[in-house]
Amino acid sequence: MVFGVGLLILFAMVFGGYILAGGHMGPLLHSLPYEMMIIGGAAVGALVIGNSVRAVKHLGGSFKKILSGPRWKDEDYLNAIFVVSRLTKLLKNEGPVALESHVENPQESEIFRDYPRLMADTFFIHFVTDALRLQVIAPGGLDAFQVEEVMDNALKTHLHHEDETVHMLESLADGLPALGIVAAVLGVIKTMGSIDQPPAVLGAMIGGALVGTFLGVFLAYGIASPCASRLKQVLREDAEIYHVAKQIIIASLRNSPQALVVEAARTSISPHNQPSFAAVFDGLREAA
């Protein structure tokens, strides 16, 4: 929704201002298909040359995140607190044997199955179960700082993989103005080949060539760069739910009181998604 509003404002202000200043859309529309073919085709080709097939496919999937925004809602953050708290409480009260079936086969776990949206996130499930599995196979022998380091490394690797698409969009934004110049130079070459034409014809051809420069700059700073910034924000916000899980697991491993465990997780969430203290503890009582 917000993305669409931004695009509307962008196009309305740029082209609306151009028309109000007395500009005519005819030359732009006439040259647009050819210039877009040159600039857009070159940009896609450069992406394919500079990246693996996996990375290019991942970039395609990232546009959904740009359009739809952050994946997790307020309820999901509450549920993340609930599911990890229930698992750590089970480990503390009933021991590693009781927890083992939940971490080894989360698809069959009655605890995990209560939270289907979280179950759909493969990384969240592995992130939680892998950390808890360490406590199953080495009960009482784990240092909280070492487990935290392992979880931080797992999260860092995951975010590095996700950030590849941000870097691809940033590189695209950096390259588009130069590709626009390429299109403009080709237009000038075409114009110079028709130097014997009347001034009106030459003027139209030069105007068409300059459309390439305009499109390169417009697409770079009006589309590609904002998309990269938006994607970075979405990825950072979506990653908060993993920090929630980590805070609960590490605080529990340190034998912190339950209130401190939950509060450490709750306060790691951004204010606009952060549940209230009462909502968390009331929900935990109901989930128990």
Q: What is the pLDDT of residues 179-238, one digit of tens each?
A: 999 999 998 888 888 887 888 887 888 888 889 999 999 999 999 999 999 999 999 999
More confident residue, 281 or 216: 216
Each residue of 111-158: pLDDT tens digit?
Answer: 999 999 999 999 999 999 999 998 888 766 678 888 899 999 999 999
Residue keyed to tokens 């491993």: 253
C-beta separation of 65 from 234 below 8 A = yes
Each residue of 23-70: pLDDT tens digit?
Answer: 888 888 888 889 999 999 999 999 999 988 888 888 888 888 898 889
The candidate with the shortest Cα–Cα distance to 153, out of 219, 217, 242, 84, is 242
Q: Would you state the pLDDT for residue 82?
A: 92
Domain boundaries, the chain: 27-288
Pull the structure tokens for residue 80. Answer: 């993340």
Whole-number Å distance between alpha carbons of 253 and 147: 9
Q: Would you state the pLDDT for residue 285?
A: 76
- Name the band, by pLDDT with cuts 50, 70 and 90, for residue 275: confident
- Name the band, by pLDDT with cuts 50, 70 and 90, for residue 96: confident
Mean pLDDT of 249-272: 86
Amino acid code (one letter) for 178? A
Q: Would you state the pLDDT for residue 140?
A: 66
Q: Would you state the pLDDT for residue 139?
A: 67
Q: Would you state the pLDDT for residue 64?
A: 87
Say which DSSP state 220 is in.
I
Whole-number Å distance between alpha carbons of 44 and 260: 50
Whole-number Å distance between alpha carbons of 179 and 276: 50
For the whole model, what pTM was predicted?
A: 0.84
Say which DSSP state 274 is in.
P
Helices (H), the chain: 2-20, 25-50, 53-68, 74-94, 96-104, 116-119, 122-137, 144-192, 199-219, 225-238, 240-253, 258-266, 277-287
The C-alpha R_g of the chain, in whole angstroms, comes to 27
C-beta separation of 275 from 110 below 8 A = no
The candidate with the shortest Cα–Cα distance to 273, out of 72, 39, 42, is 72
Mean pLDDT of 80-106: 90
Question: Rounded mean pLDDT of the chain?
Answer: 89
